[in-house]
Amino acid sequence: MRLVLVGPPGAGKGTQAQYIASNLSIPKISTGDIFRANVSGGTELGKLAKEYMDRGDLVPDEVTIAMVRDRLSEDDAQDGFLLDGFPRNVPQAEILKKMLAEFGVVLDIVLELVVDEDEVVRRLAGRRTCSQCGRIWHVDFDDKKDDICDACGGSLYQRDDDKEETVRRRLEVYQEQTAPLITFYADEEILVGVDAAGPVEEVTHRAMEALAPYIG
């Protein structure tokens, strides 16, 4: 199976990508993993990407796309893959479609993790990070009544990325960039939505049930 996983920040894409890929026995391919592999491996694309990252600039689409192409051509991706974090917009989706056509394959499904905006804010804005050991706690899920890390006794703080105004801005950016992508794949008739609320295991179960008709 060849699928793309999409969803807003806080929907649990990283966690679900790992479980779904494992259940389907296909590689999970994320742009973050690809970047790290190329940079640590010292590839030409990795060196190029590192130049941009070291300057604090975004890595250009053409570099990202070249890395994705290389990764999808590897042996372990020939019988299927799960893409997480790519494509991020319609132009990238169109490029991916052409790329796969060159390989003689198509996407089977695009799985959208659907979660309410207020739930995303609750998940992300409720996180607290330990200033000593780096462990992340949640004010609701871990029933935290104080700002002390239960693991090491360090003080907990809220990262700037986790502040409500930042989370809501990230969601706005997601809607601006990704809402057209959702429409694109709906028009291609390969989009399936899955309720991403609730425990991780329940979401994984719903996802696998949604994928079942497409598993050959």
For residue 206, is pLDDT > 70?
A: yes
Of the listed ranges 19-33, 57-71, 102-116, 122-136, the one predicted with least confidence = 57-71
Asked if residue 159 belongs to a known ligand binding site, the reply is yes
Q: Give 132-180 as a 3 state SS string.
A: CCCCEEECCCCCCCCCECCCCCCEEECCHHHCHHHHHHHHHHHHHHHHH
Identify how many contiguous H helices and E strands the chain contains and give both numbers: 8, 8
Asked if residue 12 belongs to a known ligand binding site, the reply is yes
The pLDDT, as a whole number, for residue 216 is 64
As given in the structure block, the two tokens for residue 216 are 């050959």
For residue 201, is pLDDT > 80?
A: yes
Q: Are strands 127-130 and 81-84 parallel, antiparallel or unpaired?
A: unpaired
CA dist., res. 104 & res. 92, Å (int): 18
Q: Answer yes or no: 168 catalytic.
A: no
The pLDDT, as a whole number, for residue 73 is 94
In contact, 67 and 45? CB cutoff 8 Å: yes
**Catalytic residue chosen out of the listed positions 13, 28, 123, 206:** 13
Q: Answer yes or no: 170 catalytic.
A: yes
DSSP string across 90-114: HHHHHHHHHHHHHHT----EEEEEE
CA atoms within 13 A on the CB side of 178: 20
Q: Is the dihedral of CA 67, 70, 73, 74 positive or negative?
A: negative
**Catalytic residue chosen out of the listed positions 88, 97, 122, 144:** 88
User: Strand pairing partners for 112?
Assistant: 6, 193
Q: Answer yes or no: 13 catalytic.
A: yes
Instruction: Give all domains of the chain, ordered by start, each with its CATH number.
Output: 2-26+79-214 (3.40.50.300)
Q: Answer yes or no: 159 catalytic.
A: yes
Q: Answer yes or no: 50 catalytic.
A: no
As given in the structure block, the two tokens for residue 69 are 């192409």
**Catalytic residue chosen out of the listed positions 2, 28, 71, 127:** 127
Q: Sheet with 136-138: list strands edge to edge.
A: 136-138, 127-130, 156-157
Of the listed ranges 140-144, 155-159, 189-193, 200-204, the one predicted with least confidence = 140-144
